[in-house]
Each structure stands twice: as structure tokens, then as C-alpha cells.
């Protein structure tokens, strides 16, 4: 019997508007504060850093926001992405669950990140900006911004977390192929970088630190803005295209919807992207579980505190209410570099606080075990970040085996692992470190929070 396993949405059905969860939140997002004055944040405070259109999107309550034609033209290079039924994995597990994965690794940059890189570059170009800076963990976001800058002809400088820079040198070449500049963070190119290197020349860096460097660079030049690949509301807005497409594709697959929606969570962009339309369904009364899967080395949702903190180490970002391990917390150098972040997107944090999503922390050995099972069944060599979602999907499918329930499990396979083979090598050699978080360090870094009154 012919069983379809690949569900492609025709390009003519590509969503032409993003979905904004802020329109439907039962409780609005808490306000943000200026990092210097600690007063309520005004949109103008962000103008030295971000395009005005992005600042508008950050606070918008419009339910649907049109995607500009020039952005759609670039999305069309690879979108809509495929929804796969993981039939081979289901057979391997012997589960009655039907497992689907939305594969966001099938574009040139290798992950879901270009979904936001392209509009961010587009809006900045339209407002006369000619150069962008950013940070990158595993290299997925930096590659995506580099590619988007190549498409629109902007200069691009990427601060890449030192630990990942060493693990994945080819990510730098990829960015350079698209004409960008990529340096290891902490770097000698910023004051905060030089300060850290002076006391710790071998510092492995972190996302929070690299954000500080990229912000400092952007603040020092008039032609330059800063971009962020996760955390912010407008990023999750752009990423909503993943969830919107997946809903149409589940219909094509003959499903009424999803029972469980899973995504890995570092800053929250890929989970946010796939889950927000399902959160809307949940608010409308549909029974859906949404699961955020984070690394045991940076377990903000499961072990952090829901309070006011900076998004970066140096305290240059707005003060946001989020689940955080404290902005001075330096996560262990797990291979899932994209998840090495002390905080969590305010939207995801808010949804967790409202009990609309669940959270789970997994150590990296367990995620690689899931990744190798996935490679042997579905073929795909996934990114260490995405393995967190695979792990949870397998766990839920195994529960369905116990309970004999035919649940529909949907997860976001956020990227491929082609630049993470040294991590696979360590796992296969048995030399992968487990890396869990340190209670003491978290306690210390949480001491100075909240930064403003709750």
C-alpha cells in the first residue's frame, strides 16, 4: 500500500502573512525596561540598534502581518519546507503514534534561521542601513544573516562564540563565501571582548557575551545596525511561518491537527516558530501539549527563575522578564551551541509561565543517542540542537506505545548537523562529555536579580 511520507505545500500556498501571538495572549507580555535608566523602555530607545519596522513588529498586536514581496521572493528559494512523516522511525520504535517532522534544514544556511534573517536584512536595507552585526552560537544564525546580506548587498560582521568557532571552522568559510566577516568571540575588536580576554585569554565565550560585542560594534557606527536571531518578539513573528505551513501540511496528510508539538529551545526561535499557531488553537480549546526541550547545561525554563534580566552579559539589551539562569551564567560548551543561552525568549517564557507550554531538560549524551537512531532510520544527520526535539519525540512515541494511543506528534527538525561531525565523532568514540548545569553557579548568577522591581 502506498503510504505518503513527504508532504509538500505548493509554492502558491506559501503563507503571505506572519502570525503574531501577541494578538491572542490572554495576558499581555510584561513591559521591558531601558538597560541604562531602568525606566520603561520606549520604542525610540531601540532605534540606534534596530530598523523602525522591526521595532513596530516587536510591540505590534496585529494578528497577521503581511510578508513583503521581496522577502517572499527570497523565501521562495527554499520555502515551503517539507513536512515528513517519520514512518521509518515509527516502525523502528513500534509505536502507534504518527510522528511528523517539519524539516527546516533544507536551505543553504542549514536551519530555520533564514526565516528571520531575510526580513531583518530587508527592513534594514529599506531604512538605509548598509552594515549589520550579529552574534552566532553554532553558526546557524551567522550563516543565515551572511546569506541574507549577500542577497540584499549589505556588509555583515558576525561574532561567533569561541567554543563553536573552534569546533566548526567551516561555518566561518561558509559566511565568507557569502561575503561576510566572522571573528571568534570574545574578540579584540570590542572593548567588552578585550576586557574579557585580558582576564581570561582562553574564554570559550557564550551567546550572551557575543551579543554584547555585536551590540557595542553597532552602537559605535552610524551605518550599522544590530540583528538578533532569537529571543525577540519580531524573530518569533517571522518564524511563525514554520507553524503556519505545518498546519496546512498536516491537513494534506489527512490529520485533524497535532496532539503534541515539540521544539528545542535555546533562545526560543524555532520552538516559537512552530508552536505559536498551535498555542492559538490551544487557547481556542483544542487539547494540545507543547514541549520545549532544552539542554541540561543551560536549563533556563526548568531550573531558572522567571524574573527581570538582561539578554546579554554586558547589560546592553533591554531588561526583559524571562526565565533566566542569570546573565553572568556561562553554560558548559555543549555541542548544541545554539542552545547555550542563559535566558529564554520573553514570549516563550510568558507561555511557560501561563502553563501553555511544558519544558524538559536533556543531557547531551541522550540527545546524541536519539540523533543516531534518527540517522539510521530517517537518514538525516541532524544538528545537535534539533536532537533535543528528536529525543522528546521518541520519548512521547514510546509513551504512546505503552498506552496504545495513536497520537499525532509533530516536531521541528530545525537544522542539519553537517558542520557538527566532530561532535558525532566524540559521541561515537564515547568521549562526549555529559555537561549538566551547576546549582552553585546558577545561585550565584541569580543573586543580583531582578534588575528592576517586579
* Site residues, a second copy (CB under 8 A): 2-8, 10-12, 73, 76-80, 84, 87-88, 106-110, 147, 150-151, 169-170, 173-174, 176-179, 372, 375-381, 416, 418-419, 421-422, 424-425, 428
Cell output for 337: 551551541
To a second copy, the closest distance from the beta carbon of 149 in angstroms equals 10
To a second copy, the closest distance from the beta carbon of 381 in angstroms equals 6
The smaller minimum CB distance to a second copy, of residues 151 and 310, is found at 151
The smaller minimum CB distance to a second copy, of residues 211 and 394, is found at 394
To a second copy, the closest distance from the beta carbon of 173 in angstroms equals 4
To a second copy, the closest distance from the beta carbon of 116 in angstroms equals 15
The smaller minimum CB distance to a second copy, of residues 175 and 356, is found at 175
Distance CA 75, CA 323 (A): 32
To a second copy, the closest distance from the beta carbon of 60 in angstroms equals 25
To a second copy, the closest distance from the beta carbon of 92 in angstroms equals 11
Q: How many CA atoms, within 13 angstroms, populate the side-chain half-sphere of residue 37?
A: 8
Q: Would you mind telling me the total number of residues written for the chain in this entry?
A: 454
To a second copy, the closest distance from the beta carbon of 123 in angstroms equals 19
301 in the Ramachandran plot: left (φ > 0), alpha (ψ -120 to 50) or beta? alpha
Cell output for 318: 533591554
Q: Is 294 exposed, middle or buried (0-12, 13-18, 19+ CB in 10 A)?
A: buried
To a second copy, the closest distance from the beta carbon of 72 in angstroms equals 8
Task: Provide DSSP, 184-197.
Answer: EES-TTSHHHHHHH
The smaller minimum CB distance to a second copy, of residues 29 and 88, is found at 88
Task: Provide DSSP, 27-93.
Answer: SPPPP-B-TTT-SBPPGGGGTTTS-HHHHHHHH---SEEEPPHHHHHHHTTTPSPPEEE-HHHHHHH
The smaller minimum CB distance to a second copy, of residues 4 and 37, is found at 4
To a second copy, the closest distance from the beta carbon of 96 in angstroms equals 19
The smaller minimum CB distance to a second copy, of residues 338 and 346, is found at 338
Distance CA 57, CA 235 (A): 9
- Is 318:329 a contact under the CB 8 Å cutoff? no
The smaller minimum CB distance to a second copy, of residues 148 and 231, is found at 148
Its sign, for the CA torsion 365, 380, 4, 12, is: positive
The smaller minimum CB distance to a second copy, of residues 146 and 442, is found at 146
Distance CA 264, CA 385 (A): 6
To a second copy, the closest distance from the beta carbon of 197 in angstroms equals 25
Compute the 3-state secondary structure of the chain and give helix, strand, coil in percent, each to the nearest 5.
45, 15, 40
To a second copy, the closest distance from the beta carbon of 87 in angstroms equals 8
Q: Is 250 exposed, middle or buried (0-12, 13-18, 19+ CB in 10 A)?
A: buried
The smaller minimum CB distance to a second copy, of residues 3 and 453, is found at 3
- Is 62:20 a contact under the CB 8 Å cutoff? yes
Q: Is 265 exposed, middle or buried (0-12, 13-18, 19+ CB in 10 A)?
A: buried
The smaller minimum CB distance to a second copy, of residues 137 and 417, is found at 417
The smaller minimum CB distance to a second copy, of residues 76 and 194, is found at 76
Helix, strand or coil for residue 453? coil
To a second copy, the closest distance from the beta carbon of 3 in angstroms equals 8
CA-to-CA dists, residue 85 to 98, 198, 254, 316, angstroms: 7, 51, 12, 43
Backbone angles phi and psi of 72, in degrees to 5: -60, -40
Cell output for 352: 511557560
The smaller minimum CB distance to a second copy, of residues 32 and 95, is found at 95
Beta carbons within 10 angstroms of residue 87's beta carbon: 15
Amino acid at each position: 500500500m502506498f503510504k505518503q511520507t513527504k508532504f509538500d505545500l505548493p509554492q502558491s500556498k506559501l503563507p503571505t502573512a506572519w502570525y503574531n501571538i501577541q494578538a491572542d495572549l490572554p495576558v499581555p507580555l510584561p513591559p521591558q525596561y531601558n538597560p541604562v535608566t531602568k525606566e520603561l523602555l520606549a520604542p525610540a530607545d531601540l532605534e540606534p540598534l534596530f530598523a523602525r519596522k522591526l521595532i513596530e513588529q516587536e510591540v505590534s498586536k496585529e494578528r497577521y502581518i503581511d510578508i513583503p514581496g521581496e522577502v517572499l521572493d527570497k523565501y521562495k528559494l527554499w520555502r515551503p519546507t517539507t513536512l515528513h512523516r517519520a514512518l521509518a522511525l515509527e516502525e523502528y520504535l513500534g509505536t502507534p503514534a504518527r510522528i511528523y517532522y517539519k524539516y527546516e534544514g533544507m536551505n543553504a544556511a542549514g536551519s530555520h534561521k533564514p526565516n528571520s534573517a531575510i526580513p531583518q536584512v530587508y527592513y534594514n536595507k529599506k531604512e538605509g542601513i548598509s552594515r549589520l552585526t550579529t552574534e552566532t552560537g553554532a553558526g546557524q544564525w551567522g550563516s543565515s544573516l551572511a546569506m541574507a546580506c549577500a542577497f540584499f548587498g549589505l556588509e555583515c560582521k558576525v561574532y561567533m562564540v569561541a567554543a563553536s568557532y573552534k569546533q566548526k571552522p567551516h561555518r566561518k568559510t561558509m559566511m565568507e563565501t557569502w561575503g561576510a566577516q566572522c571573528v571568534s568571540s570574545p574578540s579584540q575588536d570590542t572593548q567588552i571582548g578585550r576586557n574579557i580576554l585580558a582576564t581570561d585569554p582562553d574564554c570559550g565565550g557564550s551567546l550572551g557575551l557575543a551579543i554584547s560585542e555585536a551590540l557595542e560594534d553597532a552602537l559605535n557606527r552610524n551605518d550599522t545596525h544590530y540583528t538578533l536571531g532569537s529571543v525577540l518578539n519580531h524573530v518569533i513573528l517571522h518564524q511563525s511561518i514554520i507553524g503556519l505551513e505545518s498546519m496546512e501540511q498536516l491537513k494534506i496528510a489527512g490529520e485533524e491537527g497535532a496532539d503534541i508539538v515539540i521544539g528545542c529551545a535555546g533562545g526560543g526561535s524555532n520552538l516559537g516558530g512552530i508552536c505559536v499557531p498551535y498555542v492559538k488553537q490551544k487557547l481556542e480549546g483544542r487539547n494540545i501539549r507543547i514541549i520545549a526541550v532544552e539542554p541540561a547545561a543551560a536549563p533556563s525554563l526548568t531550573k531558572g527563575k522567571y524574573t527581570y534580566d538582561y539578554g546579554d552579559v554586558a547589560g546592553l539589551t533591554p531588561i526583559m522578564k524571562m526565565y533566566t539562569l542569570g546573565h553572568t551564567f556561562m553554560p558548559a560548551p555543549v555541542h548544541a551551541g545554539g542552545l547555550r543561552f542563559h535566558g529564554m525568549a520573553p514570549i516563550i517564557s510568558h507561555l511557560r509561565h501561563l502553563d501553555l507550554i511544558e519544558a524538559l531538560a536533556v543531557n547531551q549524551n541522550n540527545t546524541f543517542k536519539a540523533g543516531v537512531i534518527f540517522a539510521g532510520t530517517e537518514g538525516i544527520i541532524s544538528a545537535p540542537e534539533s536532537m533535543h526535539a528528536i529525543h522528546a519525540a521518541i520519548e512521547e512515541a514510546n509513551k504512546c506505545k505503552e498506552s496504545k494511543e495513536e497520537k499525532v506528534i509533530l516536531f521541528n527538525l530545525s537544522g542539519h548537523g553537517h558542520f557538527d561531525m566532530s561532535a558525532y565523532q566524540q559521541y561515537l568514540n564515547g568521549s562526549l562529555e555529559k555537561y549538566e548545569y551547576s546549582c552553585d553557579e546558577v545561585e550565584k548568577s541569580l543573586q543580583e536579580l531582578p534588575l528592576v522591581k517586579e
